[in-house]
Structure 1
Amino acid sequence: MRGGRHVAAVTGASFDLAAGECLALVGESGCGKSVLASALLGLLPGNAQTSGTAHVDGIDLLAADERTLARTVRGRRVGLVPQSPAAHLTPVRTVGAQLAETLRALTGTPRRETAAATVAAAGRAAFPADHLDRYPHELSGGLAQRAATALALIGDAPLLLADEPTTGLDRDLVDRTADELRRHTDEGRALLMITHDLAAAERIADRVAVMYAGRIVELTGARPFFGEPGPRHPYARGLLAALPERDFTPIPGLPPELGNLPAGCAFAARCDLVSERCGTRPALLSGVACHHPPAAPGDRTGNDA
């Protein structure tokens, strides 16, 4: 609820994520990506409502109570790299103390081995060892991001939710962070990477889910998405075309408010393929939710225009 109104922040999101796989969830700010991650960990505001199922290691995350989430899910089965790391770090404890506490809690690291294990944990996220005695307020945005990533990686959880894990990092650190997340995945764990950074997504993702106005409008392999034949949804094509290394052409207009969505296709007002059919909401069929997608490879029927 927002201002007494019901806001459908995420609707009908459906996907699977296998061990050893990275799914990149991309889209403009405000489309519902972070809300989805918060819902999976039970971190939504008290007035939020969820429905459906989300299973990890036999536990339905959406049905689990707070005790289960706190003791057996967060950090152990599902790790989180938060979107706002400074807000998730304990302000009165040093980064080193927080890493050490997490190591003991999640891995049972003996106290005599904690110092070396803390340095090693920091190194996984390129957090400098000589900053471990600093408090969160003494860190730059990029350092806070690396500290949060180091904390999230400690438990080696089967599922890692990385919400904008490269925010505030320069390109070299973006690549290093992305590569570490990919290593985490290659060791047999699943990664849901929520990001605006399409270059980072292209670097490590196996599949891409494009979200627009609270709905997944395209779900496809990363290779065809970033290469050939490219995205099939007009919005997804616009996201790539807006990149400086591509056409550098912005998508015209603005996305609709989640509390005031149109009855039909939410992208229709910004789409140059709009027709009368777009007055009805398209379902996600064959990986794309559009009435006028280009033909999928091997699809003999072509466009239904």
Structure 2
Amino acid sequence: MTELVLDHVSVRFTLPGATVAAVNDVSLRVRPGECLALVGESGCGKTVLAHALLGFLPGNAQTSGTATLTGDGPPLDLLATPDAVLAKTVRGRRVGLIPQSPASHLTPVRTARAQLEEAVRVHHPSDPAPRDHAHRVAARAGLSPADLDRYPHELSGGLAQRVANALALVGDPWLLIADEPTTGLDRPLVDGLIAEFRRMVTDGRAVLLITHDLAAAHRIADRIAVMYAGRIVEIGPTADVFDTPRHHYSRGLVNALPDRAFTPIPGGPPLLTDLPAGCSFAPRCDQVVPVCAERPTLTDDDHAYACHVPC
């Protein structure tokens, strides 16, 4: 069975005089036929984790743990797989990526059509009509044929996002990692993207949605993993995390929604160069007790949380 299993994954960046602990001991499983949303404030490590899975980290990064992708062929530890193998057998084929800031990932001197047709030829070399294939994928992403004749600098933010979405869908990957895919899209296009994700899930594939938009996660995801200061602090079925959050950070995120209490979480996250020894959320939490000086671990159940005094 195809699945992705992360086991104690950590990512560190070495800087002059400091170490950035961007991802800390993350363990989770992405299952076939589900959308898992990874949510949390900007800077909590969500995008770094995605880049680690696809080998897009800079040279000063150090990783530990394993990220095992099973399915076609022998299991692959994505953190230990050489870049040439990732490029040839994983990226775009088994794992697709909708990047954050998509315009910066497009080739500036080629039209959207040229880039999309090239992706079709790479992933489907036997297709006799790459242009028709490109048009079909573009339509799934909400693009018209006229949109494809534009260069990246001629695309609005929303159109650039749609082109990135189309490029990620070309290879029909088993797992789609979508990093803030609804940014810049109006409601009808968000609805279309959600429908596309649900089609993938119905077909037995998987979506890892990375977002700080809890409202979008609520609409799309089957399960939600809440990330804070590089750690997973809660994970469970979407309804459980929204309706009965167990971690106080999760409760704060939910209460900040406009249709809830609309109350912001006080304070700010800790520096990733100077994380507290115990619970990283303790400086912002109104339920701190002495045991919070010790680092909590995730409970071992379907709705897991890492809190000494849960909600």
Normalising TM by the smaller chain, what interval?
over 0.9
Q: Within 2, Cα distance between the matches of 1:200 and 1:184?
A: 17
The residue that corresponds to 1:10 in the other structure is 23
One-letter identity of the residue aligned with 2:278: G
The one-character-per-residue Cα deviations of 1:7-29 (angstroms, maximum 9, x if unpaired) are 11001100111111110000000
The one-character-per-residue Cα deviations of 1:35-71 (angstroms, maximum 9, x if unpaired) are 0000000001111011111111321100100110111
- 1:263 counterpart = 2:277: yes
Among residues 192, 210, 216, which one is paired with 1:200 in the alignment? Answer: 216
Deviation at 1:4, TM superposition (A): 3.2
- 1:154 counterpart = 2:167: no
One-letter identity of the residue aligned with 2:49: L
The residue that corresponds to 1:235 in the other structure is 249
1:56, 1:77 within 8 Å by CA — same for their partners in 2?
no
2:222, 2:237 within 8 Å by CA — same for their partners in 1?
yes
Q: CA RMSD in A?
A: 1.1
Q: Within 2, Cα distance between the matches of 1:226 and 1:183?
A: 24
Structure with a larger share of its residues in strand: 2
One-letter identity of the residue aligned with 1:246: R
2:235, 2:241 within 8 Å by CA — same for their partners in 1?
no
Among residues 122, 146, 149, which one is paired with 2:138 in the alignment? Answer: 122
The residue that corresponds to 1:34 in the other structure is 47
The residue that corresponds to 2:182 in the other structure is 166
Among residues 257, 276, 283, which one is paired with 2:290 in the alignment? Answer: 276
Aligned residues: 291
The residue that corresponds to 2:225 in the other structure is 209
Q: Within 2, Cα distance between the matches of 1:139 and 1:99?
A: 15
Deviation at 1:128, TM superposition (A): 2.3
Deviating above 2 A after TM superposition, structure 1's stretches of 4 or more consecutive aligned residues are 108-111
The residue that corresponds to 2:5 in the other structure is none
2:15, 2:60 within 8 Å by CA — same for their partners in 1?
no
Unaligned runs of 5+ in 2: 1-13
The residue that corresponds to 2:200 in the other structure is 184
1:209, 1:220 within 8 Å by CA — same for their partners in 2?
yes
Among residues 214, 225, 248, which one is paired with 2:262 in the alignment? Answer: 248
One-letter identity of the residue aligned with 2:112: V
1:175, 1:200 within 8 Å by CA — same for their partners in 2?
no
- 1:54 counterpart = 2:67: yes
The residue that corresponds to 1:302 in the other structure is none
